[in-house]
Amino acid sequence: MLEDYVSKTQKSRALYERAKKVLPAGVSYGIRFFEPYPFYTARAKGSKLYDIDGNEYIDYWIGHGAHILGHSPSVVVEAVKRQVENGTHFGTSHELEVLLAEQVVKMVPSAEMVRFTNSGTEANMYAIRLARAYTGKSKIIKFEGGWHGGYDALHIGVKYPFHIPESAGLTVGATQDTVLAVFNNFEDVEAKAQEESVAAIIVEPVLGAGGSIPAEKEFLRGLREICDERGILLIYDEVITGFRLAPGGAQQYFGVLPDITVFGKILGGGFPVGAFSGRREIMERLNPLVYERPNFSFHGGTFCANPITMAAGLAVLKTLEDGGIISRLNKMGEKVRETLREIFEAKGVDVQATGVGSLFNTHFTSKQVRNARDAFEADRKRLAEYHINLIVMGVFFLPTHFGSISAAHTDADIEKLFQATEDYAKIIGKV
Ligand SMILES: Cc1ncc(COP(=O)(O)O)c(C=O)c1O
């Protein structure tokens, strides 16, 4: 299969040779590299990516899950064209940021106020700082396999084995206040939350990079209760689930509300974005008219609330608001998980299809996958091999990463995923 990939992607191969001289690993984000080298994209539209060799891929990575309406949907293209003519970056306050904040508050049950950032990483960083400022406490509980971006205090326990630091250069000082707990294991959190100085518990309601594993509702309820009992803030990282599982995100889908929510991806309509929201009383800590140093919690940056991002995000959120598209995508997700499971099982291959709503992943194991440990103990090599096989057949997943369905995916696109999976299952199948 690798030979087939190489023969189809000769221009990408040549570009990779140039790229790796000027970009470490030839990429701008380590996860975008895959063996033997990544293809380089020339353009994207709807559910498709086209590489520089002219190959077409049905895209289930879909911009790290950001493009819920597909690549360059017309509502976004129109909104962005209008805004480019009116200014790309004001460096002052403007109406679009107010409109998008109002839209977020309208859609997300726990959001009373919002602040915009340029990435999910940044939003998580400021959310943690805000939780510490508000509670006057320092420790953070995060979960094994939880990915919240590259901010030092949250950049531990992401990949298995969880005790190995994710990066060089993380100081003891930056990480010593972060406590790791096991996802979907309430007893573990309960034991760790006894510590007096816990400011916040941060959780992805669906572990994304950790395997596309939904939180169990009882688990989220338990987190909510323990936070209320102990004066801890509950932070949902909804960078993936926000505006995807429901118009109001995972908190609406599961019916358990956090104190602070972190957003990214879909909110920017395909442009760089992050945001965090919460109750007024908490968010007012960011208000320099109300709090002075040392009680004020800082947030800001040159490109915060960039008008192009705000225009694109507003166009997408307005399209999603009535829930029609989302419920259609959620049904498609259910069918995808069920069918992938059936295809592998019919060939005697042990598999768990995980995810919820329009998010999905596969894990080659006979054991139920409830947390990141289970996901990493499954056959990851097989998962990478499956995804590379799909790529050769014109179906793109970033190898080992989750898939997302967008409104641009047609029944024929989904059929092609099933067909390619069936072809792969035949190769590895036992029956
Ligand atoms: C759940 C979650 N949180 C945070 C982030 C970081 O966001 P960004 O890549 O925009 O910094 C990601 C990115 O994939 C994510 O999936």
- Going from N- to C-terminal start, the domains of the chain cover 2-60+323-428, 74-320
In contact, 189 and 222? CB cutoff 8 Å: yes
Longest dimension (CA), the chain: 69
Residue identified by tokens 């099982």 is 345
pLDDT 10s digits, 304-355:
999 999 999 999 999 999 999 999 999 999 999 999 999 999 999 999 999 9
Closest residue by Cα to residue 285 from 109, 106, 113, 105: 113
Q: Assess whether the C-beta atom of 202 lies below 6 angstroms from ligand 1.
A: no
Ligand 1 site, residue 238, Cβ cutoff 6 A:
no
- Residue 32 in tokens: 């975008």
Q: Is 131 left (phi over 0), alpha (psi -120 to 50) or beta?
A: alpha
CATH code: domain 2-60+323-428 is 3.90.1150.10
- The tens digit of pLDDT for each residue in 244-285 reads 999 999 999 999 999 999 999 999 999 999 999 999 999 999
Closest ligand 1 atom, residue 122 Cα:
11
Nearest CA to ligand 1 atom 13: 149
Mutate to test the pocket of ligand 1, among 265, 303, 309, 400 (most ligand atoms within 8 A of CB): 265
The CATH number of 74-320 is: 3.40.640.10
Q: Is 159 exposed, middle or buried (0-12, 13-18, 19+ CB in 10 A)?
A: middle
For residue 124, the ligand 1 atom closest to its alpha carbon is 4
- Determine the distance separating the centroid of ligand 1 and the alpha carbon of 149, expressed in angstroms: 5
Nearest-atom index, ligand 1, CA of 120? 7
For residues 393 and 386, the answer to whether their CB atoms sit within 8 Å is no
Cα separation, 416 vs 29, in Å, equals 28
Per-residue pLDDT tens for 189-228? 999 999 889 999 999 999 999 999 999 999 999 999 999 9
**What pTM value is reported for the model?**
0.98
pLDDT digits (tens, 9 = 90+) for 84-137: 999 999 999 999 999 999 999 999 999 999 999 999 999 999 999 999 999 999
Three-state DSSP state, 271: coil
Q: 263: CA distance to ligand 1 center in Å?
A: 9
119 in contact with ligand 1, CB cutoff 6 A: yes
